[in-house]
Amino acid sequence: MANTTIDPSILQRAQAWINDVNIDDETKTRISRMIEQDPGELAESFYCDLEFGTGGLRGIMGDGTNRMNKYTVGMATQGLANYLKKVFAGENEIRLAIAYDSRNKSNYFATIAAEVLSANGITVFQFEQLRPTPELSFAVRYLHCHSGIVITASHNPKEYNGYKVYWNDGAQLVPPHDKNVITEVQKIASIAEVNFTGDKMKINMIGESIDNEFLKISKSYSLAPEVITPNKDMKIVYTPLHGTGITLVPQSLRNYGFTNIHIVEEQAVSDGNFPTIISPNPEEKAAMQMAMDKAKAIHADLVLATDPDADRIGVGVKDLEGNYILLNGNQTAALLTYYLIKQWQAKGKLTGKEYIVKTIVTSELISDIAKNAGVEYFDVLTGFKWIAGVIRDLEGTKTFIGGGEESYGFMIGDFVRDKDAVTACCIFAECAAWAASKGKSLYELLLDIYLEYGLYKENLVNVVKKGMSGQAEIKAMMEGYRANPPKVIAGSKVMLMNDYELRQATDIPSGKVTPIDLPKSDVLQFFLEDGSKISMRPSGTEPKIKFYFSVRADLKTVADFKKAEAGLDGRIEEIIESMKLR
């Protein structure tokens, strides 16, 4: 295909890499082939720089400025190193921990980061093999590091990889460090500024000793070991979805006392191609199918899954008819919150200084459970870095019980400062044992919660907008809702609009505006007269805009559940159709 079909500015960016003496010959050959044979891929690879956002990098692996590769990872790491040396200039030693997941090239990118950091005089603690993200968060604090990196694209498809940065509290970057790191990364104008010549004397390999400490502290969060003993042989099916969970989850479950663990062996192989699934996302039914089939075959009591970096948890349970169903992230978080608070009450641990945290798009059922128990709760922006921020602000004065978000993430206690599916799997199994000690299944326990607090139903619609034009479309969509908010949605009046970009809440009937005391974020929420909640936000890591829907109804009896659930499902569909999202 002729070069004339290529945008001149993109061709210029590609030629700059070909002419750069710092780029290896194999990369140059592949770029030349794109120029000749695939101008579309060339455009996607070079039309912009892969953005280092507030959480780090995430993108498709490949050659070019808009791809995850040695050079974009190197430039990001050089910028991070420069910032660390500025902030901690007075320290005798700057320390950083690195972990990586099972994705293709994760180990390679981790090694590149270690080499760049060590070349800049920073002491590196690198996991010798793949490890879960929560263990990296733990290691940062345990090893007294100033920062941390984990190479992962979480639950994204196999083409992706990513690079998440952590601060010295074990949490992902928050202001001002997030923006300051971005500024330093953006200052790296060329690959020539990156020092790739690592210092092996400054790279320390870590592994089993950190595992043992993590597992020991995780087990200390067990609240009712007495209910596990009589239920230790309940059948648990676990799948790591080809990821890092296999390194810690089965062992952690055994540490808690569970003895009858059945692993989905086909998915226990750590493989970045994810050969048995299209997407390694426990939110998706297809990803969980092998585990659910195994559960059905052996009549399991509980199905557990973790995503590739083991920070998200998937759960399957039996319903009243004995059919295996998947819980959504809101249901999982509600059950965990309910169990934690009930046990804290039963053990006499509530002193009035405890709290839980959820994100603004997560079910209000969680806040209802907390309020009913007299436990303080906080709403934060989407992302566990904000949950960790509350912990940091309240450290020493109040006690964090747990917190979660609708996207299958939960954190128990504060020894980890990010989503922790390892500990969550164990506490969820303990919750199942607790339910069994009461003669109930987990599903029956969930129904009890609905009877007490009301039936909540949530749904999520992702509107995908890929490529160069996608970002502009997403921006225009948000600007349209912000400038011309709907007055009525699906026949119900809009009563309140929360605009987290402007940090203000508008009471629609009166026009009264009040401030929102949260950081600025491109999120809009509409609260309807019938109690429905609609939230929308562009994804920070993927080319899409997310629409969250939450509706509620009273539930009088278990016999009414299916009819009430169907009614709420229908209501969500009415809202989706009204907003023209189908």
pLDDT tens track for 398-423: 999 999 999 999 999 999 999 999 99
- In angstroms, the CA 466 to CA 201 distance is 43
pLDDT tens track for 251-293: 999 999 999 999 999 999 999 999 999 999 999 999 999 999 9
For 115, the 3-state DSSP assignment is: helix
- Residue 43 is classified by DSSP as H
pLDDT tens track for 315-352: 999 999 999 999 999 999 999 999 999 999 999 999 99
> 0.75 exceeded by the pTM?
yes
Comparing CA positions, the residue from 297, 268, 255, 567 lying closest to residue 429 is 255
**Single-letter amino acid, residue 220:** S
Write down the residue that tokens 């964090």 correspond to. 400
- In angstroms, the CA 358 to CA 353 distance is 17
The residue ranges of every structural domain in the chain are 1-47, 51-206, 235-453, 456-578
Average pLDDT of every residue of the chain: 95
pLDDT tens track for 417-450: 999 999 999 999 999 999 999 999 999 999 999 9
- Residue 51 is classified by DSSP as P
Confidence at residue 81, expressed as pLDDT on a 0 to 100 scale? 98
Confidence at residue 466, expressed as pLDDT on a 0 to 100 scale? 79
pLDDT tens track for 98-148: 999 999 999 999 999 999 999 999 999 999 999 999 999 999 999 999 999
Q: Which residues contact 383 (CB under 8 A, 6 or more apart)?
A: 55, 172, 359, 405, 540
Confidence of residue 541 (pLDDT cuts 50, 70, 90): low
Q: Residue 571, Cβ neighbours under 10 Å: how many?
A: 20
- In angstroms, the CA 480 to CA 60 distance is 29
- In angstroms, the CA 81 to CA 68 distance is 18
pLDDT over 90 at 470, yes or no: no
Confidence of residue 3 (pLDDT cuts 50, 70, 90): very low
Q: Which residues contact 118 (CB under 8 A, 6 or more apart)?
A: 124, 198, 199, 200, 201, 202, 203
- In angstroms, the CA 480 to CA 474 distance is 10
Q: What is the CATH number of domain 235-453?
A: 3.40.120.10
- Which overall architecture, per CATH, does domain 456-578 show? 2-Layer Sandwich (3.30)
The shares of helix, strand and coil residues in the chain, as percent rounded to the nearest 5, are 45, 20, 35
Active-site positions? 154
- In angstroms, the CA 222 to CA 425 distance is 11
Domains 51-206 and 235-453 share a fold: yes
Lowest mean pLDDT segment, chosen from 19-28, 49-58, 82-91, 359-368: 49-58
The topology (CATH level 3) of 51-206 is: Alpha-D-Glucose-1,6-Bisphosphate; Chain A, domain 3 (3.40.120)
Confidence of residue 1 (pLDDT cuts 50, 70, 90): very low
